[in-house]
């Protein structure tokens, strides 16, 4: 089982490989993209963050890819904005050709137009379907297999039994799941708002700045007891990822994790675990890689899930993150020693 | 139309009456939509596989629609493998109901897997690309026309992925001749005739975000069981509605079950503007479509 790690600078590669990174993914904001759109249109899901989450020089990315290859680590590049439009396709094609030329190992795509373009202009790039493309069933997995994809990054909010079924039905593909950071109440690929640095997510806005009003479906007012229940439920809902868990020290954890499920995911046939967050500090990423490496080792050597859970007890997140199980990628296999 | 109350009402009233009542409900009775009449009825769900109707309910709705002598469109959501099984039952039921009819029933798809399934196993049904798969940015916080960061790229934010020729070519391979799009607050810069594809536009309520985690669906669950992705619910979204207003939002936001909708501001020229795009169908939801 491979650990897939975000990369934004060549200087981080050696330490991350030493910590246990098996493969990398990175973003690229080219000069051409920036000169046409500035910060008004994203090229990938962290495009608005510019150099805080991306390479902004093709030469630097090429050098990073070369260093990764020296260490036998593949590098996949995110070109995974949720959609592109006709006037952007010349730049998308240009980026794909560049990635092909600098020998990136693959490209992470979410848009059908970009996928069809990649098949034509960048034949050497492995095609990975982004988690934002919402492959939630075997039919969709097969659909992408027939379109030339080699790996599916499964979206958030699938349970392990559903993942197992998809892999069993379409075993020709590789599968990757999110395992650390980047939680969301909604499905990223089904969200249509901008996540610019000025606005952030609408889910955060609604949680922080809006009080819901409630009605019955026939528009009549709710009773006091109904309103009480609805508001309590809403309070719990806002505990769900937001406000995000913020550590004060150098904890490994950011907001959500799926450590409890590593053994179950391995059994299901998942091949790669993704650490989300190309804008995270390299130090936190390094610590998460170390943590996951230990978890993967325990998953591979434990006799059963219970044995695995016993062995990873010292790796668990702090109790206030773990208690409710709302910051859990796979809550159905959650096993916290805090509760 | 997903609301049971409206379906019961439709048994005893004319389509035109129900339509006019719905316009009044949304305070749109003075807008040009009033000059239109209902030429098709939609039923099903775009946003939640738990709300897929049983074959019996599909049959009932289909019969009601037939009585009103208009065509029927069935909506399908994004789905897991379990959802694919549920969609199959729905499509089997629809295929039996419409067997021998001249024009196959339309099925709106919001999942590439469902589209693939229809092409392979249900050639008698007509797939339509739903608004979840025809991507466009919608954000109730942003005045795209005037915002410093976004107005320079308005031409991007006014288009969808359907403007890419290769995407339309792929859709045609899968039998898709019609695409549905939400009319975003920043409006559209598209020419349906030039695209060579039929366009349907949703007016009024834009879907903004959705997912498997359901706020209302966890209402009756204990704290530790709330908000799990695959948990069954008691369809609380059919009992209550939640909405929010805020001066920083450009309209009311409805958080209905697992989906957030944005009631976009109405402008007097909107219907005329939609016609100028070459749009061949306007979709109007008489109630929140969950």
Phi, psi for residue B170 in degrees, rounded to 5:
-60, -45
Q: Using a CB-CB distance cutoff of 8 angstroms, which residues of chain B are in contact with residue A217?
A: 3, 5, 238-241
Rounded Cα–Cα distance for residues A170 and A166 (Å): 6
Question: For residue B26, what pLDDT band results from cuts at 50, 70 and 90?
Answer: confident
3 state DSSP class of B52? coil
Q: DSSP states of A117-179 as a string?
A: HHHHH-TTSEEEE-GGG---SHHHHHHHHHTT--EEEPPTT--HHHHHHHHHH-TTSEEEEEE
Q: Does A91 touch chain B (CB under 8 A)?
A: no
Closest by Cβ to A41, choosing from B142, B153, B161: B153
Give the pLDDT score at A118: 98
Residues 116-145 of A with CB under 8 A from B: 116-117, 134-144
Nearest to B252 by CA among A32, A87, A215: A215
> CA nearest A205 in B: which residue?
B141
| Cβ atoms of A27 and A47 closer than 8 Å | yes
Rounded Cα–Cα distance for residues B283 and B19 (Å): 12
Residue A249 has pLDDT above 80, yes or no: no
**Which tens digits make up the pLDDT trace of B256-281?**
999 999 998 888 889 999 999 999 99
Closest by Cβ to A194, choosing from B116, B142, B207: B142
Residues 93-112 of A with CB under 8 A from B: 111-112
Please report, rounded to a whole number, the percentage of residues in chain A having pLDDT higher than 70. Answer: 95
Domain A2-186+255-334 has CATH 3.20.20.70: yes
Nearest to A119 by CA among A93, A139, A138, A143: A93
| Cβ atoms of B127 and B120 closer than 8 Å | no
Q: Does A222 touch chain B (CB under 8 A)?
A: yes
Give the pLDDT score at A248: 44
Give the pLDDT score at A241: 59
Rounded Cα–Cα distance for residues B188 and B203 (Å): 12
| Residue contact A41–B255, C-beta within 8 A | no
CA dihedral B155, B159, B165, B167 (to 10 degrees): 140
Please tell me whether the interface predicted TM-score (ipTM) of this complex is above 0.90. Answer: yes
- Encoding tokens for residue B269? 């020229």
Q: How many CA atoms lie within 13 A of A150 on its CB side?
A: 12
Residue B240 has pLDDT above 50, yes or no: yes
> CA nearest A333 in B: which residue?
B228
Residue B204 has pLDDT above 80, yes or no: yes
Residue A245 has pLDDT above 60, yes or no: no
Question: For residue A28, what pLDDT band results from cuts at 50, 70 and 90?
Answer: very high
Question: For residue A265, what pLDDT band results from cuts at 50, 70 and 90?
Answer: very high
Please report, rounded to a whole number, the percentage of residues in chain A having pLDDT higher than 90. Answer: 75
Q: Using a CB-CB distance cutoff of 8 angstroms, which residues of chain A are in contact with residue B149?
A: 39-40, 196, 198
Rounded Cα–Cα distance for residues B229 and A58 (Å): 40
Q: Using a CB-CB distance cutoff of 8 angstroms, which residues of chain B are in contact with residue A87?
A: 155-156, 159, 163
| Residue contact B211–A165, C-beta within 8 A | no
| Residue contact A157–B211, C-beta within 8 A | yes
Give the pLDDT score at A204: 84
Closest by Cβ to A113, choosing from B84, B114, B164: B164
Residue B3 has pLDDT above 50, yes or no: yes
Residues 172-201 of A with CB under 8 A from B: 184-187, 190-194, 196, 198-199
Q: Does A158 touch chain B (CB under 8 A)?
A: yes
Give the pLDDT score at A242: 53
Rounded Cα–Cα distance for residues A231 and A221 (Å): 14
| Cβ atoms of A202 and B118 closer than 8 Å | no
Q: Using a CB-CB distance cutoff of 8 angstroms, which residues of chain A are in contact with residue B9?
A: none
Size of interface A-B (CB pairs under 8 A): 232
Tell me the average pLDDT across A47-70: 95
Min Cα–Cα distance to chain A from B278, Å: 18
Compute the mean pLDDT over every residue in chain B, rounded to the nearest whole number. 93
Q: Does A269 touch chain B (CB under 8 A)?
A: no
Q: Using a CB-CB distance cutoff of 8 angstroms, which residues of chain B are in contact with residue A196?
A: 149
Give the pLDDT score at B264: 87
Tell me the average pLDDT across B151-180: 96
Closest by Cβ to B229, choosing from A111, A142, A157: A157
Q: Using a CB-CB distance cutoff of 8 angstroms, which residues of chain A are in contact with residue B211?
A: 157, 184-187, 190-191
Give the pLDDT score at B102: 67
Nearest to B78 by CA among A177, A202, A140, A159: A140
Rounded Cα–Cα distance for residues A331 and A256 (Å): 11
Min Cα–Cα distance to chain A from B125, Å: 18
Rounded Cα–Cα distance for residues A99 and A67 (Å): 15
| Cβ atoms of A135 and A144 closer than 8 Å | yes
Question: For residue A247, what pLDDT band results from cuts at 50, 70 and 90?
Answer: very low
Question: For residue B55, what pLDDT band results from cuts at 50, 70 and 90?
Answer: very high
| Residue contact A213–B170, C-beta within 8 A | no
**Which tens digits make up the pLDDT trace of A268-291?**
999 999 999 999 999 999 999 999
Nearest to B178 by CA among B122, B109, B114, B129: B129
| Cβ atoms of A218 and B191 closer than 8 Å | no
Tell me the average pLDDT across A40-68: 94
Q: How far is CA A141 from the centre of its chain?
A: 18
Residue A35 has pLDDT above 70, yes or no: yes
| Residue contact B81–A169, C-beta within 8 A | yes
Tell me the average pLDDT across A179-199: 90
**Which tens digits make up the pLDDT trace of B74-112?**
999 999 999 999 999 999 999 999 876 766 799 999 999
- Encoding tokens for residue A300? 């591979």
> CA nearest B182 in A: which residue?
A192
**Which tens digits make up the pLDDT trace of A288-319?**
999 999 999 999 999 999 999 999 988 887 77
Residue A334 has pLDDT above 50, yes or no: yes
Residue A161 has pLDDT above 80, yes or no: yes
| Cβ atoms of A24 and A62 closer than 8 Å | no
């Amino acid at each position: 089982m491979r650990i897939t790690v975000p990369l934004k600078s060549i200087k981080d590669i050696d330490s991350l490989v030493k910590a246990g990174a098996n493969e990398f993914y990175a973003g690229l904001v080219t000069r051409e993209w920036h000169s046409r759109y500035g910060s008004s249109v994203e090229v990938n899901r962290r495009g608005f963050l510019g150099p805080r989450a991306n390479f902004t020089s093709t030469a630097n990315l090429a050098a990073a890819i070369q260093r990764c290859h020296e260490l036998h680590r593949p590098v996949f590049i995110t070109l995974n904005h949720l959609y592109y439009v006709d006037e952007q396709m010349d730049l998308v094609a240009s980026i794909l050709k560049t990635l092909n030329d600098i020998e990136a190992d693959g490209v992470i795509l979410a848009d059908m137009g970009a996928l069809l373009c990649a098949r034509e202009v960048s034949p050497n790039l492995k095609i990975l379907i982004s988690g934002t493309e919402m492959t939630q069933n075997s039919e969709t997995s097969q659909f992408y297999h027939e379109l030339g994809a080699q790996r599916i990054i499964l979206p958030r909010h699938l349970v392990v039994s559903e993942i197992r079924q998809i892999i069993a039905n379409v075993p020709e593909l590789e599968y990757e799941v999110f395992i650390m950071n980047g939680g969301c109440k909604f499905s990223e690929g089904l969200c249509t708002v901008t996540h610019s640095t000025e606005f952030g997510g609408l889910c955060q806005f609604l949680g922080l700045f809006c009080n819901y009003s409630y009605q019955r479906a026939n528009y009549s007012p709710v009773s006091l007891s109904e309103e009480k229940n609805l508001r309590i439920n809403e309070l719990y809902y806002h505990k769900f990822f937001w406000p995000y868990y913020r550590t004060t020290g150098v904890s490994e954890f950011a907001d959500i994790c799926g450590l409890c499920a590593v053994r179950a995911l391995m059994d299901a046939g998942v091949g790669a675990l993704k650490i989300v967050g190309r804008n995270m500090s390299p130090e936190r990423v390094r610590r998460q890689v170390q943590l996951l490496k230990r978890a993967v080792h325990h998953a591979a050597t434990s006799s059963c899930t219970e044995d695995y859970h016993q062995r990873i007890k010292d790796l668990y997140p702090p109790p206030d993150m773990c208690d409710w199980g709302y910051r859990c990628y796979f809550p159905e296999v959650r096993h916290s020693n805090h509760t | 139309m997903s609301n049971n109350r409206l379906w019961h009402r439709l048994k005893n009233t004319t389509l035109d009456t129900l339509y006019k009542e719905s316009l009044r409900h949304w305070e749109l009775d003075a807008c040009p939509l009033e000059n239109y009449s209902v030429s098709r009825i939609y039923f099903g769900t775009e946003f939640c596989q738990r709300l897929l109707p049983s074959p019996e309910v599909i049959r009932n709705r289909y019969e009601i629609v037939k009585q009103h002598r208009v065509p029927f469109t069935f909506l399908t959501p994004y789905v897991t493998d379990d959802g694919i099984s549920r969609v199959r039952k729905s499509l089997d039921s629809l295929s039996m109901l419409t067997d021998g009819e001249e024009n196959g029933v339309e099925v709106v798809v919001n999942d590439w897997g469902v589209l693939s399934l229809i092409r392979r196993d249900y050639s008698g049904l007509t797939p339509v690309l739903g608004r979840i798969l025809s991507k466009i940015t919608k954000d109730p916080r942003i005045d795209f026309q005037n915002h410093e960061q976004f107005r320079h790229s308005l031409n991007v934010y006014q288009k969808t992925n359907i403007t890419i020729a290769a995407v339309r070519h792929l859709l045609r391979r899968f039998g898709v001749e019609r695409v549905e799009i939400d009319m975003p607050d920043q409006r559209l810069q598209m020419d349906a005739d030039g695209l060579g594809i039929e366009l349907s536009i949703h007016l009024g309520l834009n879907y903004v975000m959705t997912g498997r985690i359901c706020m209302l669906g966890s209402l009756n669950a204990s704290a530790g069981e709330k908000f799990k992705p695959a948990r069954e619910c008691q369809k609380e979204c059919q009992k209550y509605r939640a909405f929010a207003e805020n001066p920083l939002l450009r309209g009311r936001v409805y958080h209905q079950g697992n989906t957030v909708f944005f009631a976009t501001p109405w402008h007097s020229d909107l219907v005329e503007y939609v016609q100028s795009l070459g749009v061949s169908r306007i979709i109007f939801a008489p109630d929140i479509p969950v």
